[in-house]
Amino acid sequence: MSSQLINGKEISNTIRTGIQKEVQDLIAKGITPGLAVILVGEDPASHTYVANKEKACKELGIYSKLIKLPEDTTEEDLLAQIKQLNEASEIDGILVQLPLPKQINEQKVIETISPLKDVDGFHPNSVGKMLLGQETFLPCTPHGIMKLLEYSNIEVAGKHAVVIGRSHIVGVPMGQLLLQHDATVTYCHSKTKNLQEMTKQADILVVAIGRAKMITADYIKEGAAVIDVGMNRDENNHLCGDVDFDSVVEKTSAITPVPGGVGPMTITMLMYNTVQSAKTKLA
């Protein structure tokens, strides 16, 4: 079967063109959207993601403020920084890059961010609203995946969607958004028995495990759409996903690559949320 390559880079660019227009309109009205990114420590992958976020802001005309803090930053100092940003009128969105060093309680950090500036959609206030189907900031990766499906004309309603992974950042909200679009949703995780039996029922399979190339052809139903959230390094230090792309591609009707699939969409939806936040300043 011939498979559709879901080009996240291209879909991102299409959506970013629309966002750029919105930014220009806001700037014309005296409002420059602003995003603050706090990066604690020296994790190289985090530095790459943050650099990509900065680049996207620059391209779209969004003001970005990067705050780099040392690995040994205290929780108290980080919370104080966040509180300042909560009050800063030039800042519409606050993102604290995860994971954080072990001396810092992530949940406490997330709950300190003003829900009005929670462009990651991780605050309990945002999570609760999402669960209830109320308007709020949606978490960027699951929201980006819904956009990939939409722009690729992959129907969700009535389909069996299987999500592997139950993180608060990806798996759990992913299943919820798919449910809201009328999919039948199954969650799988590390304690799931007979994972292959589950995934072989998926019309739409979303993989967010964090293990390089774990999902091979044996896990895939013929004609499935496969979305790979993984971001790993293989034995040659090349970026790769959780899906063994070469093994599964022929069985799929559509599939995302890594890189160039979900990653760019995560950043695009962050830009989207930041602009949505800035728009609340309009009279």
> Where along the sequence are the contacts to ligand GUE (CB under 6 A)?
48-49, 52, 95-98, 120, 140, 231, 239, 258-260, 263-264, 266-267
Q: Least distance in Å: CB of 222 to ligand GUE? A: 27
Pick from 109, 60, 103, 70: which is nearest to 86 by CA?
109
Burial of 28: CB neighbours in 10 Å, binned 0-12, 13-18, 19+: exposed
What are the distances in angstroms from CA 170 to CA 50, 94, 208?
Answer: 18, 19, 7
Q: Which is nearer to ligand GUE, 47 or 200 (CB)?
A: 47
Residue 45 binds Mg ion, judged by CB under 5 A: no
Helices 8-28, 262-279: axis angle to 10 degrees equals: 20
- 233 known ligand binder: no
Residue 194 structure tokens: 């007979």
Instruction: Select from Mg ion, ligand GUE, none the partner in contact with residue 267, using the beta carbon and a kind-dependent cut-off of 5 to 8 Å.
Output: ligand GUE
Q: Say which entry of Mg ion, ligand GUE, none residue 201 contacts (CB below 5 to 8 A, set by partner kind).
A: none
Distance CA 193, CA 268 (A): 35
Please name the amino acid found at residue 266: T
Q: Which amino acid is at 3?
A: S
Per CB under 5 A, the segment of 92-100, 134-142, 193-201, 235-243 that binds Mg ion is 92-100
The partner in contact with residue 52, picked from ligand GUE, Mg ion, none with C-beta cut-offs of 5 to 8 angstroms by kind, is: ligand GUE
The region of 44-52, 95-103, 153-161, 249-257 touching Mg ion under the rule CB under 5 A is: 95-103
- C-alpha torsion 239→172→274→147, nearest 10: 70
Residues designated as active site: 53, 97, 120
98 binds Mg ion (CB under 5 A): yes
For ligand GUE, the closer of residues 252 and 273 by Cβ is 273
Min CB(262)–ligand GUE separation in Å: 6
